[in-house]
Amino acid sequence: MTTIGFIGAGKIGSQLARLALANGHSVVLSNSRGPATLASLVSELGPKARAGSVREAAQAGEIVVVTIPLKNYQAVPVEPLAGKVVIDTNNYYPQRDGQIAALDDESTTTAELLQQHLPLSRVVKAFNHIYAAELTTHGQPAGSKQRRALVIAGDDQQAKRTVAHLIDQFGFDTVDAGPLSEGWRIQRDTPGYGPRRTAEELRRDLAAARRYSQM
C-alpha cells in the first residue's frame, strides 16, 4: 500500500487520513505547529499513522496532500515533492487568505498557483468541494446506485488516474474536469461546490459553472 503524506492536518486532512488508513495505506501527518501538536490525533489513528515535520511528510509520502490555507501555499517545500503526485484541496477565501490579484482577475486558479510553486510535481485538484465530515460518511462501494462523485482537475493524465483510483477506494466516483485551468468550475459559489452529486449531476454542474466576473 501507499504512504500518503499530509501537509496540513485540519478537518479535511484528518478525515482523508482516516480514509487512507481504512483502505490500508500509511500516513505521515504534519502541520505548521510541529509534530507534538498532532500526538492525540496520531494516537487515535493508530500504528500506521505518525507525525512529522512538513518536510518529513513531503519526503515520506508517495502521494502528498496539501490541505492548508491557500495564503500559505508558498511555504510548501519544493524539492522533496519533485516528481510526486500532489493533491491540492485548497479553496480561495479572501477574508482568510487576503486578496490574491491573479485569482481576483481570474487569470489563474488555486491549483495552478500551487503547480507554479511546485514545477516538478504533478498537481491534481481534488477534495475541495465536499464537507469534511461527509468524506467518511458518504462513501459507497463502486457500482452503488446514486454513488456520490467528486471532481478532479490536472495536467498530468497518469497523476489523475492515480488520484481517481484513490477516490474510488475512498468510496466515490470521479468526474474529470480537465486541466488545472478548469479547476475554477468547482470553486466556491459554483453549482457543484458543496452539495451531494452523482457523476451525471456533477457534470451538469461543471457545465453550468460561471466565472465570478460573469455572475
Specify the 3-state DSSP secondary structure of 33: coil
Q: Comparing C-alpha atoms, which of 20, 8, 131 is closest to residue 70?
A: 8
Global pTM reads: 0.97
**Residue 108 has which C-alpha cell?**
489563474
Per-residue pLDDT of the chain (215 residues; tens, 9 = 90+): 899 999 999 999 999 999 999 999 999 999 999 999 999 999 999 999 999 999 999 999 999 999 999 999 999 999 999 999 999 999 999 999 999 999 999 999 999 999 999 999 999 999 999 999 999 999 999 999 999 999 999 999 999 999 999 999 999 999 999 999 999 999 999 999 999 999 999 999 999 999 988 87
Tell me the C-alpha distance between 113 and 166, whole Å. 23
On the CB side of 37, how many CA atoms lie within 13 Å of its CA? Answer: 10
Phi, psi (degrees; rounded to nearest 5) at 91: -130, 155
Q: The dihedral of CA 163, 131, 112, 106: what is its sign? A: positive
**Residue 24 has which C-alpha cell?**
490500508
Maximal C-alpha separation, the chain: 49
Tell me the C-alpha distance between 131 and 134, whole Å. 5
